[in-house]
């Protein structure tokens, strides 16, 4: 049976490897904000894949617009406020709602209960406006008027029932003092091949 001992040389190698790994990693937030093939604002960065070598990759990073949506202090419990994001084009209608203290994935605010979602059903594009339901601990968007899909707003808009099989796209929010900004999206808007059409 062999006993493993690590030498200073091994430790140095491990450190170098970890540093190299970190260099090519995007944080989850960066990934969410920048994922996609095109953008409203795009820039090019160099990512060193193999530090110490001449090899480097050019990565085109893209970003969603940062758009003011609402003031936290003005949101009323379980009363959705409509807006458009990431643009004013087809299927960009969305809603923000403060879910009365019910914490949600991606929620902001002191109780993590403020979330925003696109309004277009991911199945065949049914309109979900006016379908918000707050019942006990449940916070649902739906039923979709076309084929009855419902989405759980506490859990990143996953499908609860009906014909849809993809989660409702969630609008990523940031809180700056009392001001709420939309800064990105998770999930593809129905009817689009990319979320950011103006690019």
| Residues that are catalytic | 123, 147
Residue number with CB closer to ligand FES (36 or 142): 142
Smallest distance, ligand FES to C-beta of residue 188, A: 15
The b-or-e profile of 51-63 (16+ CB within 10 A means b, else e) is eeeeeeeeeebbb
147 binds ligand FES (CB under 6 A): yes
The number of residues making up the chain comes to: 199
Figure out which of the listed residues 162, 171, 182, 195 binds ligand FES, where binding follows CB under 6 A. 162
The tokens of 35 are what?
């994922």
The tokens of 102 are what?
């019910």
User: Per CB under 6 A, which of residues 80..139 are in contact with ligand FES?
Assistant: 121, 123-126
User: Per CB under 6 A, which of residues 4..43 are in contact with ligand FES?
Assistant: none
> Is there a contact between 84 and 184 (Cβ–Cβ < 8 Å)?
no
Task: Please count the helices (runs of H) and the strands (runs of E) in the chain.
Answer: 2, 12
Only segment of 26-34, 86-94, 158-166, 179-187 that touches ligand FES (CB under 6 A): 158-166
The tokens of 136 are what?
């006990």
Nearest to 182 by CA among 111, 53, 58, 92: 92
61 binds ligand FES (CB under 6 A): no
Residue number with CB closer to ligand FES (69 or 144): 144
Question: Which residues here bind ligand FES, judged by CB under 6 A?
Answer: 121, 123-126, 144, 146-149, 162-164
């Amino acid at each position: 049976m062999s006993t493993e001992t690590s030498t200073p040389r091994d430790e140095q190698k491990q450190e170098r490897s970890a540093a190299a790994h970190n260099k090519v990693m995007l944080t989850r937030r960066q990934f969410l904000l920048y994922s996609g093939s095109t953008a409203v604002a795009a820039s090019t960065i160099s990512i060193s894949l193999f530090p110490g070598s001449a090899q480097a990759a050019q990565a085109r990073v893209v970003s969603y617009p940062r758009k003011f949506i609402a003031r936290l202090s003005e949101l009323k419990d379980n009363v959705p406020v409509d807006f458009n994001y990431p643009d004013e084009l087809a299927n960009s209608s969305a809603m923000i709602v403060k879910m009365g203290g019910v914490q949600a994935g991606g929620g902001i605010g002191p109780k993590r209960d403020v979330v925003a979602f696109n309004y277009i059903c991911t199945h065949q594009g049914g309109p979900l406006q006016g379908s918000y339901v707050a019942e006990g601990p449940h916070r649902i968007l739906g039923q979709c008027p076309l084929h009855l899909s419902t989405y759980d707003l506490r859990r990143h808009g996953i499908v609860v029932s009906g014909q849809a099989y993809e989660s409702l796209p969630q609008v990523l929010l940031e809180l700056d003092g009392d001001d709420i900004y939309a800064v990105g999206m998770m999930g593809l808007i129905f009817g689009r091949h990319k979320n950011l059409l103006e690019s």
